[in-house]
Amino acid sequence: MNTAAIKTLPGRYCNSLTEYSRFVTREVAIGDVPMGGNNPIRIQSMTTTDTMDTIGTVEQSIRMVDAGCEYVRITAPSIKEAQNLAEIKKQLRLRGYNVPLVADIHFTPNAAEVAARIVEKVRVNPGNYADKKKFDQIDYTDAEYQEELERIYKKFAPLVKICKEYGTAMRIGTNHGSLSDRIMSRYGDTPQGMVESAMEFMRICETLNYYNLVISMKSSNPQVMVQAYRLLVETMVSEGMNYPLHLGVTEAGDGEDGRIKSAVGIGTLLEDGLGDTVRVSLTEEPEAEAPVAIALVERYVERAKGERLKAKGNEISDEKNLSPFTFHLSPPIHDPYLYTRRHTYEANAFIGGHMVPRVVIDLSQKNLKDPSVLNEAGYLYSPLLDKYNMADQSVDFVYLADQLPSFNFPGNLKQLYNYKTWQKLSDKTNCHPLFTLQEYVDAEDSSSALNLVLIKLSDLENETFNLLPFDQKLVFVLETDAVHCMAEQRSFFFKMEELAIDVPVIVKRSYFFEVGGQKSEVGSQKYKVGSEIPATHHSQLTTHNSQLQLNAATDVGALLVDGFGDGIWVDAPQVETKAITSTAFGILQATRSRISKTEYISCPSCGRTLFDLMVTTQMIRSRTSHLKGLKIGIMGCIVNGPGEMADADYGYVGSGTDKVTLYRGKEAVKKNISSTNALDELIGIIKEDGNWVEIAELSVS
Ligand code: SF4
């Protein structure tokens, strides 16, 4: 293939670590909606109906297209479903919907070979296309490994030849949870194993001169997923490939958790210009997924045009107001393929070092005469007892600016005041000053515990920075007003590493949203398939809360997945405090930096699903959501579910009509039990393991 157009990557896996630059992939034809190259980032999703239910599948596909999907994926577990894709396609075309269809294949090459003659694209999972999982650990010699590759070639080559003949595209979609025994034996359950799993299949395609490929590296753990995509890009480029990337976080769950987890994984990659299509997997109706994907992608429409923007609200600034600051960055010391938390000292035995990242919220505009104002910060005030009960998600600092509360605060909640106001406090217990850089340099007094100093990337080139008195009470609060704020804040961390400065850093991000206007009409908006999503179109986000979840999870989550940040401060004056608190803790949970609740790894469901996933997930959640730190997998089928649960502690997996199999880790401990008592049985197993706790609130004075 022609590799002349493939750029080398200064950031190793992306064009630039400091400014938005889309990694241009080769264009792949998928029906009338090409992907990659300079095409817009495409939106897609997958049906949840039984593929044999033609009308149900057609109607759901139409709802998905109307919600913004540009491709519709449909499961084809066996030949009969693959054949029925022809009828589904016919019915869609009769109704005027030319959306390209994608057949989703696991384990069944014969179904793939039928589907490839009917639909515009097939998706194969290299972990199970030619292999059945037996969880065998085998030490292959190089010759034996080569034999395995030849075996795969024999199974896979016929499909490639059909795709070539029919002009069908193919996604080679690796899943972290379903790597083959061969890959697991040689590479383990690692991003490298995920990449190699796809590369084996990609190399076969190239041997056969077939290049109509799209690649994905999904995981339910955003950190693993991000590392795998990065490594994939670097590996592809080193082998002269530039196939489009399909981005997704698998089994992300539902509601806020699902959105935040998806945004952390997908958003982190989009920030670095990676990604040609996005599928958000939520345990909700599939038409609920496209608006989230659109909201994630639309932030990059203007950036991709190379227009220079300034983040103040969502306004486009005129040239002269733009920050001319450019930072000269040395190659980062940080390894983008391996999580390592940035080394910092532990300030006041509270922040930095090995401490969990701290959460700051702004209460300065609230009624500070009423102790219940702290409810939304996770401190539940009981007027009867005049005490606070601490919730699982209770913030660590509240910023009060220059406002003085008229009630006593809980003992473990720190208050932040502007320096001049802090100076005047008679009792400074648990109260800490927030300085500007200049104030701190000029200050005559400071706290003997913690001093927080506002800083921006550009400050590092100011004289004032060189005058900064360093001691281990100092904590930076990193602000930005750049549009590509993540890259700017990341540059600050790179520079800290380069200068060997180990001051803990709280990442602060402020959001202002457009008021009024477009959002109410979005539900009825119909996208023209193949068209670019209008920059001004605001997706079906019902509230600013939803926008905040996605934007903050992208911007702050992208730093945390790389181990940057000892605290987070999300500011959004138009969003209620409770939602800000919940978003902040959600981001920490999704990045696995600080666990404050149960994690649900629930599949989005598809035509294989054996129970109502949404209802079941809600039922399980209602009885286990207080089990902080446990990971519970909820999977619709036994074929893929156990593999896809990844590192769940327990699994609830559909294994037949009204039948469930329960897992402890990867081991099936109760097989095919009635779904009526399955949840009670699951709780029994959790209790047996000593992992059950009764709901109780921790009381604090
Ligand atoms: S685990 Fe869920 S989404 Fe995956 S194949 Fe099974 S039912 Fe479908």
Instruction: Determine if ligand 1 sits within 6 Å of the CB of residue 640.
Output: yes
pLDDT in tens, 120-167: 999 999 999 988 766 566 778 889 889 999 999 999 999 999 999 999
How many Cα atoms occupy the beta-carbon half-sphere of 65 within 13 Å? 23
Which pLDDT band holds residue 202 (cuts at 50, 70, 90)?
A: very high
Report how far residue 334's alpha carbon sits from residue 588's, in angstroms, rounded to the nearest whole number.
Answer: 20
Q: Is the pLDDT of residue 347 over 90?
A: yes
Of the pLDDT bands very low, low, confident and very high (cuts 50, 70, 90), residue 537 is very low
For the chain, what is the mean pLDDT?
A: 88
Residue 485 identity (one-letter amino acid): C
The residue type found at 177 is G
Helix, strand, coil shares of the chain as percentages rounded to 5? Answer: 35, 20, 45
What's the average model confidence in pLDDT over 263-290?
95
Query: What is the distance in A from the centroid of ligand 1 to the CA of 637?
Result: 5
Q: Mutation test of ligand 1: which of 638, 639, 657 has the most ligand atoms closer than 8 Å to its C-beta?
A: 639
Using one digit for the tens of pLDDT, what is the confidence trace for 67-120? 999 999 999 999 999 999 999 999 999 999 999 999 999 889 999 999 999 999
Q: What is the pLDDT of residue 322?
A: 29
pLDDT score, position 251: 83
Mean pLDDT of 11-32: 91
User: Residue whose CA is closest, atom 4 of ligand 1?
Assistant: 640
| Ligand 1 within 6 A of CB of 638 | no
More confident residue, 7 or 315: 7
186, two tokens? 């040689």
Which two tokens mark 577? 């405090």
**Is residue 644 in contact with ligand 1, taking CB distance under 6 Å?**
yes
Q: Which atom of ligand 1 is nearest to the CA of 608?
A: 7
Q: Cα(640) to centroid of ligand 1, in Å?
A: 6
Which residue has the CA at smallest separation from atom 5 of ligand 1? 640
Distances (CA, A) of 82 to 106, 147, 168: 12, 30, 14
141 C-alpha to ligand 1 centroid (Å): 34
| pLDDT band (50, 70, 90) for residue 591 | very high
Q: Is 641 in the pocket of ligand 1 (CB under 6 A)?
A: yes
User: Looking at residue 133, what is its pLDDT?
Assistant: 61
Q: Is 268 in the pocket of ligand 1 (CB under 6 A)?
A: no
**Percent of the residues in the chain that have a pLDDT greater than 70, as a whole number:** 88
The finding on whether 635 has its CB within 6 A of some atom of ligand 1 is yes
Q: What are the pLDDT digits (tens) for 551-583?
A: 999 999 999 999 999 999 999 998 999 999 999
In a 3-state reduction of DSSP, which class is residue 374? helix
How many angstroms separate the alpha carbon of residue 335 from the centre of ligand 1?
33
Cβ of 642 less than 6 Å from ligand 1:
no
Note the pLDDT of residue 332. Answer: 62
CA of 298 to the centre of ligand 1 (A): 28
Alpha-carbon span 699 to 547, nearest angstrom: 33
Which atom of ligand 1 is found nearest the CA of 46?
Answer: 3
Per residue in 674-697, pLDDT (tens digit) is: 999 999 999 999 999 999 988 754
Structure confidence by residue, pLDDT tens digits, 373-416: 999 999 999 888 888 988 889 999 999 999 999 999 998 899 99
Report how far ligand 1's centroid is from the alpha carbon of 612 (Å): 12
Determine which residue's CA is closest to atom 6 belonging to ligand 1: 637
State in Å: Cα 328 to ligand 1 middle.
Answer: 47
pLDDT tens for residues 280-302? Answer: 999 888 999 999 999 999 999 87
Distance 639 CA to ligand 1 centre (A): 8
Question: Counting atoms of ligand 1 from 1, which one is nearest the CA of 607?
Answer: 8
Nearest C-alpha neighbor of 289 from the set 269, 266, 272: 266
